[in-house]
């Protein structure tokens, strides 16, 4: 049964582009490419409803919570004290969430300060802060989730005496 008050679904550009996909194995990449060509105007309303329908049916779009198949561990190496390194900068239009983080101190002595920052490329805001004298889990203590985007992305920073600090951050896409 077609959506109410819509033209025949056979004329849908979205359905034509995704015709080789199956519900359980649909690709997030192909879904993103197909929906990128849709304009946000009144003549595209039917295609926008189809995007929502397909996105929800395939779990490639989230109305609340993570998008299936997008969990990843991002790595960044900080080669010297006081340096920032981008851990992850998503594609435009995407929103990601930090799930967990850890770091590996290489030849450290004394205490090393470790922070997760949100940055817009000019300004940084501390999202989490921890000092450590050994490798370990970075304990996230914020009262809510840490979300980030293309415009305000995830960076790591470490300060102290060490050769390298290798960060691993588990993230998941939520939009």
Question: Strand 109-119 to strand 153-161: parallel, antiparallel, or no bridges (unpaired)?
Answer: antiparallel
Per-residue burial over 67-102, b = 16 or more CB atoms within 10 Å of its CB, e = otherwise: beebeeebebebeeeeeebebbbbeeebebbbbebb
In whole angstroms, what is the distance from residue 14 CA to residue 48 CA? 9
103: helix, strand or coil: strand
pLDDT digits (tens, 9 = 90+) for 79-91: 999 999 999 999 9
In whole angstroms, what is the distance from residue 48 CA to residue 54 CA? 10
pLDDT digits (tens, 9 = 90+) for 111-158: 888 889 999 999 999 888 776 666 656 677 666 789 999 999 999 999
Residue-range domains of the chain with CATH: 9-58 (no CATH), 72-173 (2.60.120)
Mean pLDDT of 14-37: 84
58: helix, strand or coil: helix
Whether pTM > 0.75 for this model: the answer is no
Instruction: Give me the pLDDT at residue 148, please.
Output: 95
Residue 135 is given by DSSP the state: -
């Amino acid at each position: 049964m077609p959506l109410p008050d819509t033209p025949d679904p056979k004329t849908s550009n979205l359905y034509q582009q995704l015709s080789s996909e199956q519900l359980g194995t649909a690709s997030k990449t192909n879904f993103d490419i197909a929906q990128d060509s849709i304009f946000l105007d009144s003549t595209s309303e039917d295609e926008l409803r189809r995007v929502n329908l397909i996105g929800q049916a395939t779990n490639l779009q989230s109305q609340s919570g993570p998008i299936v198949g997008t969990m990843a561990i991002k790595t960044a190496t900080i080669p010297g004290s006081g340096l920032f390194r981008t851990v992850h900068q998503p594609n435009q239009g995407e929103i990601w969430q930090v799930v967990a983080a850890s770091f590996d101190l290489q030849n450290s002595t004394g205490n090393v300060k470790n922070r997760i920052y949100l940055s817009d490329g000019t300004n940084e805001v501390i999202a989490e802060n921890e000092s450590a004298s050994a490798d370990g889990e970075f304990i996230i203590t914020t009262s809510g989730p840490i979300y980030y985007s293309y415009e305000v992305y995830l960076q790591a920073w470490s300060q102290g005496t060490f050769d390298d600090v290798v960060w691993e951050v588990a993230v998941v896409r939520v939009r």
